[in-house]
């Protein structure tokens, strides 16, 4: 599937710009919304697992493309995108229904370094991944490859660091 029509390409680019701004803003706004009476306390291990599966899928997608299996690579990247959306939905739903959990461990500095880098890179990864995907969709595989050198490691770090953040904070969740 290639995207060659200039007007459609322009629309796709503007959609990526829009999503890159809207997603972090909506997440920030929704963090201020609190829904009482809904217990979604089961979600943190679920969305941490989704992040872990995303990281594994990203590795499998990398292996697939290294083996020149484009169709498997395409399926795996689409699955990773879908899992990332599912993660975001669960994450926002949890934080709309639960108070933030303070970190209570001795490794506070390490925890916050990982958490802050995870948050900042999760914002940056949205346009990187979407533009990288767009270049492949266009059939512009040279540009896709160049962008992948930045997008893939950041996306992988965000997925893995999400699991690490959960692992570090999970002992402090209120039971």
Q: Is residue 114 predicted with pLDDT exceeding 90?
A: yes
Tens digits of per-residue pLDDT, 52-87?
999 999 999 999 999 999 999 999 999 999 999 999
Domain assignment present for 71: yes
Name residue, tokens 């690490």. 164
Q: What is the pLDDT of residue 175?
A: 57
Q: Is residue 156 predicted with pLDDT exceeding 70?
A: yes
Domain assignment present for 49: yes
pLDDT classification of 39: cutoffs 50, 70, 90: very high
- pTM to 2 decimal places: 0.91
Range of the structural domain that residue 138 is part of? 35-172
DSSP 45-79: HHHHHHHHHHHHHHHHHHHHHHTT-HHHHHHHHHH
Residue in 9, 14, 23, 50 with CA at minimum distance from that of residue 124:
23
Q: What is the pLDDT of residue 157?
A: 98
Domain assignment present for 147: yes
Domain assignment present for 115: yes
Domain assignment present for 3: no
* Average pLDDT taken over every residue of the chain: 93
Looking at the 3D structure of the chain, how many domains does it have?
1
pLDDT classification of 141: cutoffs 50, 70, 90: very high
Domain assignment present for 164: yes
Residue in 28, 136, 143, 18 with CA at minimum distance from that of residue 91:
28
Mean pLDDT, range 139-152, rounded to an integer: 96
Domain assignment present for 72: yes
Q: Is residue 1 predicted with pLDDT exceeding 50?
A: no
Q: What is the pLDDT of residue 149?
A: 96
């Amino acid at each position: 599937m290639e995207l060659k029509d200039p007007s459609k390409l322009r629309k796709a680019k503007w959609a990526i710009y829009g999503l890159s701004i809207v997603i972090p803003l909506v997440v920030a706004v929704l963090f201020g919304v609190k829904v009482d009476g809904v217990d979604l306390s089961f979600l943190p291990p679920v969305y941490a697992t989704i992040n872990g599966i995303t990281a594994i899928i990203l590795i499998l997608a990398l292996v697939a493309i290294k083996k020149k299996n484009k169709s498997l690579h395409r399926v795996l990247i689409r699955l990773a995108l879908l899992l990332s959306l599912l993660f975001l939905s669960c994450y926002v739903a949890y934080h709309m229904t639960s108070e933030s959990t303070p970190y209570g461990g001795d490794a506070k500095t390490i925890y916050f370094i990982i958490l802050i880098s995870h948050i900042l890179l999760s914002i940056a990864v949205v346009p990187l991944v979407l533009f990288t995907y767009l270049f492949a969709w266009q059939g512009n595989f040279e540009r896709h490859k160049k962008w992948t050198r930045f997008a893939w490691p950041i996306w992988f770090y965000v997925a893995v660091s999400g699991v690490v953040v959960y692992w570090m904070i999970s002992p402090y969740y209120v039971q």
